[in-house]
Amino acid sequence: MSTATETAETIIFRDGQLDLLDQTKLPTELTRLVCTNIEQAHDAIRRLVVRGAPAIGIAAAYGVLLQGRDADRQAFGEAMDYLATSRPTAVNLFWAMDRMRDVMNSHDDDATLYERLHREAVTIHDEDRRMCRSIGANGAALIQGCRNVLTHCNAGGLATSMWGTALAPIYHMHEQGKAPHVFADETRPLLQGARLTAWELSQAGVAVTVLTDSMSGGLMRCGKVDAVIVGADRIAANGDAANKIGTYPLAVLAKYHNIPFYVAAPTNTFDLKLPAGDQIPIEQRHRDEVARPGGVQFVPDAADVINPAFDVTPAELIDAIVTEKGVIRSPTTETVGQHFAN
């Protein structure tokens, strides 16, 4: 079994250039954007050419290298600071920049600094591939026997380097010929579920049905959803999880209908410095994404628009968090702490 993104890889770094699958053009165009400087990499992350917390971290790590082989320590540091301003919520971005900065600060030989930073970026990329497989195996145990699994936004191969997080258990089961049917919320306003999740699952041969975000409750009431699994962009120390806007009401609906609600994310998505989710910074995006989707005006100019990219789901609504290390059931500050201690 191969996923769509194994033939159209999300992130490639070669010949000193950052080559990205342009996710703003999917599903109608399979095109790539090549970045040759950090300004282009910053813009690609900000515009969602590359998106998904793990993929953002990988792209930013490679983006640092766009300063060039002859760049000095100061230039690399400035690149890290600049790339960290591209998106405010996904903690993997800052985690990746911290790793690159630690390497820079601990490496004394300026003549080989580029090679050492390049090696660290490749390591981050390789670790992500292993993470995807581990989350797939750990999460599959939670959804065994489910006929229909609902997901929100895109937390698949397009959001990482391989299988993704929320979709990794689906791909793991698909590899064994046992994948459940997937309901994919459209995920308004940018339709990552309809454009991206449905594309990559259908390319991989997984049965997928797209629904508008407002249909989820009705499907649950009719008994057509056995589990919900989503990704995350930042998870606080108590298990509160920030994910694409619309995730919180989905969790409330799942709790009301007694349907298990799972979050899948690597341990580098946790921000243990934040005790609770209320402290997670929420990105506010441009009004045109709501008012003029695809350049077509739907909202009158005199009307205000609110466009937060994420909301926060309290840990009490989450049945389990799946990481590459295992499963945190009924997440709390204590159980999250134990997971990291182990």
Which parts of the chain are beta strand (E)?
Answer: 11-14, 17-21, 32-35, 148-151, 181-185, 208-211, 227-230, 234-236, 241-244, 261-264, 270-271, 310-313, 320-323, 326-329
Tell me which of 185, 233, 271, 319 is the catalytic residue.
233
Whether 225 and 148 have beta carbons less than 8 Å apart is answered as: yes
Q: For this structure, is 304 an active site residue?
A: no
DSSP state of 10: S
How many distinct helices (H) and strands (E) make up the chain?
Answer: 13, 14
Residue 129 in tokens: 């591939």
Q: Regarding beta strands 234-236 and 11-14, do their DSSP bridges make them parallel or antiparallel, or are they unpaired?
A: unpaired
Q: Across the strands, what pairs with 326? A: 323
Cα–Cα nearest to 56, from 82, 25, 95: 95
- The type of residue at 196 is L
Q: What share of the chain is helix, strand, coil (3-state, %, to 5)?
A: 45, 15, 35
Alpha helices in 112-231, H assignment, sequence order = 113-143, 168-175, 192, 198-204, 216-221
Cα–Cα nearest to 192, from 38, 52, 44: 52
Whether 184 and 201 have beta carbons less than 8 Å apart is answered as: yes
- The type of residue at 139 is G
Q: What angle do CA 178, 179, 181 make, to 5 degrees?
A: 135
Whether 321 and 332 have beta carbons less than 8 Å apart is answered as: no
The residues annotated with a catalytic role in the active site are 233
